[in-house]
A = this chain, B = another copy of it.
Amino acid sequence: MGDLREPLRDLIECGLPQALEVMGERWSFMILRASFNGVHHFEEFLSELGIARNILSNRLAKLVEHGILKREPCADDRRKIEYRLTEKGFDLLPAMLALRQWGQKYGAEVEENPVLVDERDRMPIGPVSILAHDGRILTHEDLWLTMRHNVGKRPEDPGFVFLDGSTPDAIAARESAKKAAASA
The reply to whether B121 and A142 contact each other, CB–CB distance below 8 Å, is: no
The reply to whether A130 and B14 contact each other, CB–CB distance below 8 Å, is: no
User: Which of B38, B39, B84, B125 makes the CB contact (< 8 A) with A138?
Assistant: B125
In residues 133-171 of chain A, which contact B (Cβ within 8 Å)?
A: 133, 135-138, 140, 142-148, 150-155, 160-161, 163-165, 167, 169-171
In the bound complex, residues from chain B placing their C-beta under 8 Å from that of A171 are 38
Interface size on A, residues (CB 8 A): 111
In the bound complex, residues from chain B placing their C-beta under 8 Å from that of A123 are 132-133, 151-152
The reply to whether A130 and B132 contact each other, CB–CB distance below 8 Å, is: no
The reply to whether B145 and A114 contact each other, CB–CB distance below 8 Å, is: yes
- Please tell me if A3 contacts chain B, counting CB pairs below 8 Å: no
Chain B residue with the shortest CB-CB distance to A132 = B118
* Residue interface mask A44-61, B partner, CB < 8 A = 1: 100011110000000000
> Secondary structure at chain A's binding surface: helix, strand, loop or mixed?
mixed
Of A15, A48, A96, most B-chain CB atoms within 10 Å: A15
Distance in Å from the Cβ of A38 to the closest Cβ of chain B?
3
The reply to whether A102 and B113 contact each other, CB–CB distance below 8 Å, is: no
| New A-B contacts (19) at CB < 8 Å, excluding given A11-B114, A18-B104, A95-B99 | A12-B113, A13-B110, A14-B33, A15-B110, A16-B29, A16-B100, A17-B103, A40-B167, A92-B102, A94-B102, A113-B147, A113-B180, A115-B148, A116-B144, A117-B145, A117-B151, A123-B133, A123-B152, A124-B151
Interface, chain A (partner B; CB < 8 A):
5-9, 11-20, 23-24, 26, 29-30, 33-34, 36-40, 44, 48-51, 67, 84-85, 88, 90-108, 110-133, 135-138, 140, 142-148, 150-155, 160-161, 163-165, 167, 169-171, 173-174, 177, 180-181
